[in-house]
Amino acid sequence: MFGRQKVDHSKPLTHREILIIMSSLMTGMLLAALDQTIVSTALKSIVEDFNGLNHYSWVVTAYLLTSTASTPLYGKISDLYGRRPVYQFSIIIFLLGSFLAGASTSMEQLIAFRALQGLGAGGLMGLTFVIVGDLVSPRDRGKYQGLFGAVWGVSSVAGPLLGGFFSDNDTILGITGWRWIFYINLPFGLLAMAVTAMVLHIPKVKREHKIDYLGAFLLVAAVTSLLIGLSVLGPENGWTESRTLMAIIGGLLIAALFVVWEGKAVEPILPLALFKNRTFTLTSIIGFIIGAGMFGAIIMLPLYLQIIQGNSATSAGLKLIPLMLGILTFTVTSGRMITKTGKYKVYPVVGTVIMSVGIFAMSTARVDTPYWQIAIFAVIIGGGLGLCMQTIVIALQNAVDFKDLGIATSSNTFFRTLGGAFGTAIFGTILSDRVAQNLERNFADFAAANPGKLASIDPSLADSLSTNTEIISTLPIEIKTLVLEAFSSSFHTVFLFAFPVVALAFFFAIALEEKPLQDSAGHASARQDAAGESLG
């Protein structure tokens, strides 16, 4: 359909040429974005199969952790070997992880194979924006990056909807329903490989690099240690327990060692010199915060709809359509306005406010809150995300030299994904911790007010509910009400914690300096200069 595209890279690409290349990038982005959201409505079924509600956040966190740590590496490796082969390598790793995740027989296996998926997803997400930055000027980038916002918007609904459909079926073609959330990636992945082979022909400007393997190892070790301490050891063993403290303190020490090493490394994986660029620093902070809020919302909303309001997984997926509409509408609109006016600062400023309002509004949701209110809250959150996500990437790419485009863009993706990893782990920890406390308190209060009524209830019920919510529907109405109130109060706490975190991004958005967006001619000239420097 497409054929090989011979492109003259001495001049800006035509709109048609850019759209053809975008089709391959959007296919890959859909894969990575879909797998971040498709597990959200299936998590309930997965943890019920493996009795692992207390570790459910790691199904998401493991994916985010490895995709986070690998993202900066992909930028430099693609400078060495070219964008397309490295991009295709990431697809292969992603598909291998998908196949193995679908074949998992335990929570531990699933988490490990999700981590392998994440290694591939780091390239799919990170290299997409690097390639766009290679080809399109900052002034024109808004209307094209709006397409990727559309991909995120579609995946935010299609993912949970597909996840719900698969997990609502006990078996499909003789295979457990929820396992198809991973197997569905295989045909999409093969399509992405075919499309990239046909149309992703971009100039290879080889820049000699040394890969900072020690820096990459220290980065992974620091993030892993901190996440294990915050989301596993702390909730299970207590925050003052020796292993918890060792994990958290060890993670901080390794992080400090990472910073020291990066300052001395010949070619650091995360060049500290980039932080001298005010726009890079601010967009990295905003990206981190937005990532935490985005993944918190995408994971928590389906759980709320299923556990509290009793929706099926499929129904919960459908009810996320307002979130998608918010992301899609505001991303595409803001992208076109940026291209038309050349102004971009207003969008992350307004977006952070809107998103904060939506997160706070979700903290008011209760067991009997009507869906139409939840839908409004979801539109607000999605709208805020849509105004922020792509705009900060445009601001960053416009503010750095072309030779730093790859590492700066992948670093920004790194911080956004890192925020998602920490946000998911910490919000998941808060949820699990509060559920256990609220169940214990509610049962104690009920027993005191109604002596003897809990005699027929299994004493270990509270512990069972902390790992498996399937039994809620089998409980007597009075006990079920207690349990739902406990979960509702826990979600209330999670969103209250998330609100000030997301609101903090507003102050960093205000501090952004708006610079004139580079046009196509200037961008082509910068690209040629960078190519000349690399050959000189």
| Together in a domain, 313 and 397 | yes
Name which residue leads in pLDDT, 252 or 482. 252
Q: 378 vs 459, which has greater pLDDT? A: 378
Alpha-carbon distances, residue 164 vs 112, 120, 169, 488 (angstroms): 23, 24, 9, 21
More confident residue, 117 or 31: 117
Question: Domain containing 228: what range?
Answer: 212-268
The span from the CA of 60 to the CA of 35, in Å, is 9
Considering the domain architecture, whether residues 108 and 242 belong to the same structural domain is answered as: no
Both 141 and 191 in one domain: the answer is yes
What is the radius of gyration, based on Cα positions, of the chain?
23
- What distance in Å separates the CA atoms of residue 176 and residue 357, rounded to the nearest whole number? 39
Please tell me whether residues 317 and 415 are part of one structural domain.
Answer: yes
- pLDDT category of residue 354 using cuts at 50, 70 and 90: very high
Query: pLDDT grade, residue 78 (50/70/90)?
Result: confident
Q: Residue 422 — φ and ψ, nearest 5°?
A: -70, -40
291 with 385, same domain?
A: yes
pLDDT higher for 105 or 450?
Answer: 105
Q: Residue 362 domain-assigned?
A: yes
pLDDT band (50, 70, 90) for residue 510: very high
Asked whether residue 263 is domain-assigned, the answer is: yes
Provide CB contacts within 8 A for 200, sequence distance 6+. 21, 24, 25, 83, 84, 87, 131
- Percent share of the chain, pLDDT over 90: 12
pLDDT in tens, 281-292: 999 999 898 888
410 and 314 in one domain? yes
**Structure confidence at residue 531 as a pLDDT band (50, 70, 90):** very low
User: Is 26 a domain residue?
Assistant: yes
Do the domain assignments include residue 9? Answer: no
Boundary-marking domain end, from 253, 268, 283: 268
Identify which has the larger pLDDT, 393 or 250. Answer: 250
Q: Is residue 363 part of a domain?
A: yes
pLDDT score for 4: 44
- When pLDDT is cut at 50, 70 and 90, the band that residue 2 belongs to is very low
Q: Which pLDDT score is estimated for 252?
A: 92
Of 4-8, 63-67, 94-98, 161-165, the range with the highest mean pLDDT is 94-98
pLDDT of residue 285: 92
Q: What is the mean pLDDT of residues 87-102?
A: 91
Q: Is the pLDDT of residue 93 over 90?
A: yes
The mean pLDDT of 277-303, rounded to a whole number, is: 83
pTM of the model: 0.73
Mean pLDDT of 219-233: 78
Q: Residue 4: phi, psi to the nearest 5?
A: -75, 135
- pLDDT > 70 in the chain, percent: 79
157 and 230 belong to one structural domain:
no
* Burial call 288-326: b when 16+ CB within 10 Å, e when fewer: bbbbbbbbbbbbbbbbbbbbbbebbbbbbbbbbbbbbbb
Span of 173-182, 293-302, 374-383, 493-502 with lowest mean pLDDT: 293-302
Whether residue 523 sits in one domain with residue 509: yes
4, part of any domain: no
Domain stops at, among 236, 253, 268: 268
Kindly state whether residues 424 and 506 are assigned to the same domain: yes
Taking the CA atoms of residue 307, residue 308, residue 310 and residue 311 in that order, the dihedral angle to the nearest 10 degrees is: -80
pLDDT band at 204 (very low <50, low <70, confident <90, very high): low
- Domain annotation covers residue 7: no
Q: What is the mean pLDDT of the chain?
A: 78
Tell me, yes or no, whether 105 and 166 share the same domain: yes
Distance CA 110, CA 357 (A): 35
CATH number at residue 328: 1.20.1250.20
Q: Is 51's pLDDT higher than 90?
A: no
If asked whether residues 196 and 170 sit together in one domain, one would say: yes
Mean pLDDT of the region 306-314: 77
Q: Looking at the 3D structure of the chain, how many domains does it have?
A: 2
Cα–Cα distance for residue pair 175/378, rounded to 1 Å: 33
pLDDT band at 463 (very low <50, low <70, confident <90, very high): low
Task: Categorize the per-residue pLDDT at 506 as very low, low, confident or very high, splitting at 50, 70 and 90.
Answer: very high
If pLDDT is split at 50, 70 and 90, which confidence band does 462 have?
Answer: low
Q: What is the pLDDT of residue 377?
A: 92
Decide if pLDDT at 6 tops 50: no
Answer yes or no: are the C-beta atoms of 447 and 33 closer than 8 Å. no
User: What is the mean predicted confidence (pLDDT) over 394-403?
Assistant: 78
Domain stop point among 268, 288, 307: 268
Q: Based on the domain organization, do 252 and 285 belong to the same domain?
A: no
465 assigned to some structural domain: no
Q: Are 71 and 415 in contact (CB under 8 A)?
A: no
> By C-alpha distance, which of 330, 324, 328 is closest to 301?
324
pLDDT, mean of residues 330-336: 83
Q: Which residue has the tokens 């399937």?
A: 470
